[in-house]
Amino acid sequence: MSDGPGAGNLQRRVRKIGAPVVSILWDIQLSGYERLPADGPAILCPNHISFLDSAFLAFTVPRNISFVGKAEYMDSWKTKFLFPALGMIPIDRSGGSASNAALDAAEEVLNRGELFGIYPEGTRSRDGTLGKGRTGAARLAMKVGCPIYPVGIVGTDEIQPPDAKVPKLRKTAEIRIGRPIKPERYMNRGAEHMAWRSMIDEVMFEVRELSGQTYVNQYHGQTAETEPTVAARVGNVTDAANRFEQQQVDEARIALAAKG
């Protein structure tokens, strides 16, 4: 049992009992899971298209995973005790200092050497597009020194769309784990907030490749006050180093245009 926030023995027991049941009710195809570390901290960043995304990830990863979840779940007697017991860390999605407690709790989870999941879009996509990523995951990765694994989830929106109350059975979904993105590549490269932005933009590019979604260069939901105002751009080349170089050129052009 963990001594702090996040997943503990209850999630471990639920995963052991529930995983076989989930595999009977739905066909969940998995790829890239061999990339996940057997121990040590790591952040998983999936796209978010259904209420079931967190559950399907928790039932399929090889060890406990704690997830950020909206603070509104704490307002209902149905979820206020159960979800935190299963590893949910509530977050106030208004951004700024209101979100710091959740990030502090996530840091504690990672410092224990555990898995942590966070949706960089901040909320579910209601139109099927992939929104601009918020920088919280990159901030955590750089502070703790752990990798981020992009995750592409496909088909859960057909099983349970955002407004559906119950899931449809006997349908197929797919979860794809991408290559790890390590924070060392982005450290000591200028302003801290731009390093966060560069890292999370690479994460979103990989999520787009894994999920097959159309990327839109805007936030889903309310814009967090902690986000930098420089417009982000997801790269369109395959080599990671070239993507980073191209992004720096784009940012320089934006800065020159602002001065002009």
| Structure tokens, 196 | 């966060």
Which CA distances in Å does 167 have to 25, 80, 116, 155, 254?
Answer: 10, 21, 25, 12, 45
The sign of the dihedral angle between the CA atoms of 130, 132, 134, 135 is positive
Closest by Cα among 48, 56, 46 to 18: 56
* Tokens found for residue 70: 């909206």
- Tell me the three state secondary structure of residue 148: strand
Dihedral-angle region of residue 195 (phi above 0 means left; psi in -120 to 50 means alpha; beta otherwise): alpha
CA distance linking residue 220 with residue 123, whole number of Å: 7
pLDDT digits over 14-45, tens only? 999 999 999 999 999 999 999 999 999 999 99
pLDDT, tens digit (0-9, with 9 covering 90-100), for 172-198: 999 999 999 999 999 877 789 899 999
Query: What is the pTM assigned to this prediction?
Result: 0.80
Percent of the chain at pLDDT exceeding 90? 59
Beta 115-117 vs 42-46: how paired, if at all?
A: parallel
Q: Contact 67/89 with Cβ under 8 angstroms?
A: yes
